[in-house]
Amino acid sequence: MNSNKLYPRRILIIVLTILIVSLYIIRLFYLQILNPNYKAEADNNAFYQKALYPARGIISDREGNIMVYNKATYDLMITMREVTQLDTLDLCKTLNIEPKLFVERLNKIKDRKLNPGYSPFVPQILVSQLEAPEAGRFQEKLYKFPGFAIRSRTLREYEYHCAANILGYLSEADPRDLENDSSLVAGDYIGKTGIEKSYEKYLRGEKGVEVLLRDARGRIKGKYQNGAHDKPYVLGHDLTLGIDANLQTFGEELMRGKRGAIVAIEPSSGEILCMVSSPSYDPALLTGKEKGVNLRQLANIPGKPLYDRSIMGYYPPGSTFKPSQGAIFLQEGVLSPSTALSCYHGFPPLHSRPKCHSHPSPVSLVPALATSCNAYFCWGLRFMLDNRQYYPNVQVAFEHWKQHMVQLGFGYKLGIDLPNERRGYIPNAKVYDKLYKGRWNSSSIISIAIGQGEISATPMQMANLATIIANRGFFYTPHVVKKIEGFPLDTAYTTLRDSHIKASIWEYIAEGMAKAVTNGTCRNANFAPGEIEVCGKTGTAQNPHGKDNSAFIGFAPKDHPKIAVCVYVENGGFGATIGVPIGRCIIEYYLRHGKLSPATEAIAERMKHLYIGYKDEIYKINKKSDSQLPVREQDNHNNKETIKREETEESESTKQINPTENGQKE
Ligand SMILES: [Zn+2]
């Protein structure tokens, strides 16, 4: 009776007991087997995985000259859990740092917000970049400081004091980098700009690991299973650039005291031979202990040396744009090579605006390019946009025009292998519809025919136009890296891009540019008459902030060209006064392997010492190289910063437009 009454209760107790025990087992199973955190923590207690850092890839120029290599440096590491006793004063004395600083640094390391990868079991960087003697001194006293260790690492060193923006610099990975790349740990260095950034995955190599065993108190006891679980590192891959380091250095010297850019490209490959942005700086400023200070100083200099004008500068191309216009008008069939058009010191239909200079009239394409006649190209735009036989309305005609510009590499990023390239600006018909409330024609926007008005381009895009003409109608996306050790180049840099304009048309354009050098606006570029045929086109573009910008595009030799170049100097005045002589120096230097003729040598000397006064430029910085001296101040100009504000990518129709009157000079 009693036992019968108790029976259900007993069952209940048994069931409950089984339930509780099961819950415990499940929880334990979860904690120890399923939960990776717990497992990792347990492993961390038993093992210490020591990272082995490979040397970063070496960077050489196109001639095989080493530009960037590695130097050993030492970091002092701390593993919190292993610090059993610590004489802070003794430590700080050995390291020659303030105790206050030491405490601050410790707190930063332990702050998981600042240092998400923090674990008391994982070594953290306490002091970075110790010199060899400092590291050696500390190494001797390491026995006094359990939990501390010296780790060797490599630091970038530079053989040439040029090409800072191309090469870029390294920085410690920030929290976002750590989040995006699981192979990184706090304290790792990665490329932040330039090719150090864009080729990071090749340059870095792969970290290796050494698995060490700890005892119950966390002390390292030696290799785990004799290194059976170790993983060797993979060295970083070397890069060979298309850049000629000597040409780059020479270009930076020529641009001393001026703001602007020089871009030179090998037409047959799209390899960038030099890419100067001025003012420039010594890349060695951004390596080593002074990096932070130097970076802040460089960021605050008025000339903005960290801003790479060659791929970021938005400039009106001026008359260097005319070859592209001539080619489009011929391809569209609105002009023929023999069409001769009148010019009476300007474009006749608009009362001689834009203006032009004295030259015989009428002119056909070749002399129009040679003399840089403004009226000729305005006529061309008029014949295209106002042509109701070929196009139903101005909008359609304009979109045809724009399509050609895009195929010539304008209006969008070219896609070069560096971060931060910008797209320049070519408006579309909607922009003008909005601006002129739907009623507009060629006269409304005539200045674009001569590379002014709403359009803007980067020096890289202008150099690319010279490349297209040099190749008579095609190009490869310009690129800085020529070869990656063990890997092929991205096909983006080996795929031919067509201009969709006939080669025979480009032949006329090249002829016009050759005539500009023999007896037109670029005569000063004719450095070897009868020997090397040079093709060129000047540009003088209005700059709302002072004196005109001076520009030049060209290539040489005319047949089988080896180099295409763009020179762009802010507030340089006429294209012929600065753009052409610098272009000449670059072309001759490259074609003659650095051996300049006496005449060009004299021009180069004059250019190196020609300073343009930019009012805002008064600064001093601890430069490591004399070749990068800042421009000096003069009072004869009142120029303001000419760099345009960043426009929102892909939103061209929202851009503010200021139609300008054009008094184009040449
Ligand atoms: Zn003219």
Higher pLDDT, 298 or 124: 298
How far is the centre of ligand 1, averaged over its atoms, from the C-alpha of 536 (Å)? 18
Residue 640: pLDDT over 60: no
pLDDT the model gives residue 224: 86
Burial of 97 (0-12, 13-18, 19+ CB in 10 A): middle
- Residue 221: how many CB atoms within 10 A of its CB? 10
Residue 141: pLDDT over 50: yes
How far is the centre of ligand 1, averaged over its atoms, from the C-alpha of 364 (Å)? 11
Distance (Å, whole) CA 615 – CA 633: 6
Confidence of residue 344 (pLDDT cuts 50, 70, 90): very high
Higher pLDDT, 113 or 166: 166
pLDDT the model gives residue 627: 36
How far is the centre of ligand 1, averaged over its atoms, from the C-alpha of 352 (Å)? 10
Residue 636: pLDDT over 60: no
Q: Is the dihedral of CA 292, 245, 71, 481 positive or negative?
A: positive
Residue 153: pLDDT over 90: no
pLDDT the model gives residue 643: 32
How far is the centre of ligand 1, averaged over its atoms, from the C-alpha of 535 (Å)? 20
- The three-class DSSP label of residue 496 is strand
pLDDT the model gives residue 660: 37
How far is the centre of ligand 1, averaged over its atoms, from the C-alpha of 375 (Å)? 5
Residue 450: pLDDT over 50: yes
How far is the centre of ligand 1, averaged over its atoms, from the C-alpha of 547 (Å)? 22
pLDDT the model gives residue 649: 31
Tokens of 226: 């004799």
How far is the centre of ligand 1, averaged over its atoms, from the C-alpha of 664 (Å)? 10
Number of H helices, E strands in the chain: 21, 18
491-543: pLDDT as tens digits: 999 999 999 999 999 999 999 999 999 999 999 999 999 999 999 999 999 88
Radius of gyration of the chain (CA): 32
Residue 221: pLDDT over 90: no
For residues 33-46, average pLDDT: 56
- The three-class DSSP label of residue 483 is strand
pLDDT the model gives residue 632: 31
How far is the centre of ligand 1, averaged over its atoms, from the C-alpha of 347 (Å)? 7
How far is the centre of ligand 1, averaged over its atoms, from the C-alpha of 348 (Å)? 10
How far is the centre of ligand 1, averaged over its atoms, from the C-alpha of 633 (Å)? 37
pLDDT the model gives residue 614: 84
How far is the centre of ligand 1, averaged over its atoms, from the C-alpha of 426 (Å)? 25
Distance (Å, whole) CA 298 – CA 273: 25
Look over the chain and give the mean of its residue pLDDT values, rounded to a whole number. 87
Closest CA relative to residue 235, chosen from 210, 191, 204: 204
% of residues, the chain, pLDDT over 90: 63
Q: Phi and psi (nearest 5°) for 9?
A: -65, -40
Q: Give Cα 543 to chain centroid, integer Å.
A: 24
Confidence of residue 659 (pLDDT cuts 50, 70, 90): very low
How far is the centre of ligand 1, averaged over its atoms, from the C-alpha of 497 (Å)? 33
| Helix (H) or strand (E) run with residue 252 in it | helix 245-254
How far is the centre of ligand 1, averaged over its atoms, from the C-alpha of 339 (Å)? 14
55-74: pLDDT as tens digits: 999 999 999 999 999 998 88
117-140: pLDDT as tens digits: 677 877 888 888 888 888 888 888
Across 456-470, 568-582, 613-627, 631-645, least confident range: 631-645
pLDDT the model gives residue 456: 95
How far is the centre of ligand 1, averaged over its atoms, from the C-alpha of 396 (Å)? 28
Residue 661: pLDDT over 80: no
pLDDT the model gives residue 629: 35
Q: Which of 179-183, 424-428, 631-635 has the highest mean pLDDT?
A: 424-428
% of residues, the chain, pLDDT over 70: 88
For residues 143-159, average pLDDT: 87
How far is the centre of ligand 1, averaged over its atoms, from the C-alpha of 612 (Å)? 29
Residue 151: pLDDT over 70: yes
pLDDT the model gives residue 5: 62
How far is the centre of ligand 1, averaged over its atoms, from the C-alpha of 476 (Å)? 34
Distance (Å, whole) CA 519 – CA 371: 8
Residue 2: pLDDT over 60: no
How far is the centre of ligand 1, averaged over its atoms, from the C-alpha of 323 (Å)? 15
How far is the centre of ligand 1, averaged over its atoms, from the C-alpha of 563 (Å)? 29
Q: Which domains does the chain have, with CATH numbers?
A: 245-620 (3.40.710.10)
Whole-model pTM: value is: 0.83
Higher pLDDT, 642 or 451: 451
Write b or e for each residue in 120-147: b if 16 or more Cβ atoms lie within 10 A of its Cβ, otherwise e. bbbbbbbbbbbeeebbeebeeeeeebeb
For residues 548-577, average pLDDT: 95
How far is the centre of ligand 1, averaged over its atoms, from the C-alpha of 345 (Å)? 6
Non-local (6+) Cβ contacts of 142 within 8 A are: 148, 149, 150
pLDDT the model gives residue 633: 31
Q: Which of 82-91, 476-485, 617-626 has the highest mean pLDDT?
A: 476-485
Confidence of residue 177 (pLDDT cuts 50, 70, 90): very high
Residue 288: pLDDT over 90: no
How far is the centre of ligand 1, averaged over its atoms, from the C-alpha of 446 (Å)? 14
How far is the centre of ligand 1, averaged over its atoms, from the C-alpha of 440 (Å)? 24
Distance (Å, whole) CA 564 – CA 382: 30
Residue 339: pLDDT over 90: yes
How far is the centre of ligand 1, averaged over its atoms, from the C-alpha of 443 (Å)? 17
Tokens of 258: 């001026």
pLDDT the model gives residue 648: 30
How far is the centre of ligand 1, averaged over its atoms, from the C-alpha of 324 (Å)? 17
How far is the centre of ligand 1, averaged over its atoms, from the C-alpha of 164 (Å)? 42
Higher pLDDT, 150 or 66: 66
Across 2-6, 213-217, 559-563, least confident range: 2-6
